[in-house]
Structure 1
Amino acid sequence: MALPHAISGQAVRVGLAAGEGLSQFSSIALAKTEHLELIRMTVPAGRALPAHAVRGQITLQCLVGEVAFDAHGRTTILRTGELLYLEGGAPHGLRANADSLLLLTILLSD
């Protein structure tokens, strides 16, 4: 069952709730509009997301943990409190070096 998306002006929990862990993969769309999608992801250590591309520009913020992000022929280590930007259409993938909590923003194109 899908969770309802947040509405404009509504607060949404992004961080970990009491007792919540990161040992299971999850991907939850927090909000989606015609131009924007916000996704909260938990990625356990050792889990990889294979290379893919999306049309829109993205940002990926590491809220907890550490991931190796592959794009543009290089690997960038993204740690707690760090954010990266990626142009639309750029192939990318990641793997979690530690249990991680991520916030993904996608700018959707027409």
Structure 2
Amino acid sequence: MITASLTKDKIYKDGKPSLQLLMETEVSKEIRILMRKGNVMKEHKAPCPIVVEIFEGEIEFGVHNKKHLLKKGDLLSLKSNIPHDLVCTEDAIVRLSISKADTLDRVNKVINN
């Protein structure tokens, strides 16, 4: 059994999202992204399908030139290699589920781009 918390030990960064690997299972990596209002993750692609959960707050999730407002409790799934971007509209805790084959380094590069 593996346990983790989306709400404990939160450390927000100024100017860019904060990333933490919460757990790695046999099939996925569960990542917490802390975003302050105004934080942006520029357009990028994931090599494998992803699932995004808004645990707290609100983001605009852009895909195919359309913005989708995601609020607390919303989930979305996205197929691999689909360009997308995020803009935080209200301080947020975002849970990102990526494939075990994907890397935390790739996600860090997106945040630091």
- TM, length-normalised to structure 1: 0.80
Any stretches of 5+ residues in structure 2 without a counterpart?
103-113
Residues 1:36 and 2:28 are matched in the alignment: yes
Residue 11 to residue 109, structure 1, CA distance change in 2 (3 Å): closer
- Aligned pairs (5 A) from 1:5-84: 9-14=1-6, 16-17=7-8, 20=10, 22=12, 24=14, 25-33=17-25, 35-84=27-76
Deviation for aligned residue 1:37: 1.5
Q: Which runs of 5+ in 1 are unaligned?
A: 1-8
For 1:17 and 1:29, locate their aligned partners in 2 and report how far apart those are by CA, in whole Å: 13
The answer for the alignment partner of 2:82 in structure 1 is: 90
CA distance in 2, matches of 1:32, 1:21: 20
Q: How well do the aligned residues superpose, as a CA RMSD in angstroms? A: 2.2
TM-score normalised by length of structure 2: 0.78
Question: Taking every aligned residue pair, what percent have the same amino acid on both sides?
Answer: 25
Number of paired residues? 100
